[in-house]
Amino acid sequence: MALEVDVRLIRRGRAIAARFTVEPAQITALFGPSGVGKTSVLDMVAGLVRPDAGRIAMDGTVLFDSAAGVDCPPEHRRCGYVFQDLRLFPHRRVRDNLLFAWRRLPPSARWMTPDEAIGFLGVGHLLDRLPATLSGGEAQRVAIGRALLSAPRFLALDEPLSSLDLGRRDGILAVIERIRDELRLPVLYVTHDPAEISRLQARVIELA
């Protein structure tokens, strides 16, 4: 299930362009300094921002094609997006955050059960807590779990370590490695840290 991306966007008078393919069980890192458009590329892939031109396809299914007039809505793209600010629902406990998208899926679309996600991420002891009571690493695991339970065909992770201290970063990196190796999902990963790229053995798409 390869993710093919070729997009162009003019934002505030500046051109943002990227062309790459993310293979299954591969992490592709969008790398570069702040302000070069890394998150904008993620938003275009996820369907939150419409490119000015280009094409996006997942496993042969066209999600966006400016020439053909195709623009698949975000909810149909099957992108598991973990935002930099996580966007957990503050009034919902961890269990309900995890199950939010899963409950809305038809049973035939689900490929991971809540128990499997909870075990995979080690968050069983957090289920009755509210997001405000979680550490940064705990909240990140819940956000990743919610994304996985949306039955994604690919993951988009926007600087997932930016708010974590060094001790908690290692645990989240280990989770991302397991997603790559065990779940074999294509992963699109935004970072400005070469050490993260080295640890994850990620293919690099440099934006400047």
Percentage of the chain exceeding pLDDT 90: 87
Q: Give the pLDDT of residue 184.
A: 94
Percentage of the chain exceeding pLDDT 70: 100
How many angstroms separate the CA atoms of 176 and 169, rounded?
A: 11
- Helix (H, G, I), strand (E, B), or coil: what is residue 75? helix
How many angstroms separate the CA atoms of 151 and 132, rounded?
A: 26
Sheet with 14-22, edge to edge strand ranges: 14-22, 3-11, 53-58, 61-65, 70-71
Q: Once rounded to an integer, what is the mean pLDDT over residues 116-126?
A: 95
Strands of 87-195, DSSP E: 154-158, 187-191
Domain boundary assignment for the chain: 3-206
Task: Give Dmax (Cα) for the chain.
Answer: 49
The CATH label, of 3.40.50.300, 3.40.47.10, 2.30.40.10, 3.40.50.920, for the domain at 3-206 is: 3.40.50.300
Q: Give the pLDDT of residue 163.
A: 79
Model confidence at 204: pLDDT above 90 = yes
Model confidence at 50: pLDDT above 90 = yes
Dihedral of CA 78/112/171/185: which sign?
Answer: negative
Give 162's pLDDT tier (boundaries 50, 70, 90): confident
Q: Give the pLDDT of residue 35.
A: 87
- Phi, psi of 57, deg, nearest 5: -140, 145
Q: Give the pLDDT of residue 158.
A: 96
Contacts of 170 (CB under 8 A, 6+ apart): none
Tens digit of pLDDT for each residue in 52-83? 999 999 998 999 999 999 999 999 999 999 99
Closest to 157 in 3D by CA, of 50, 60, 22, 35: 22
Tokens, residue 131:
């997001």
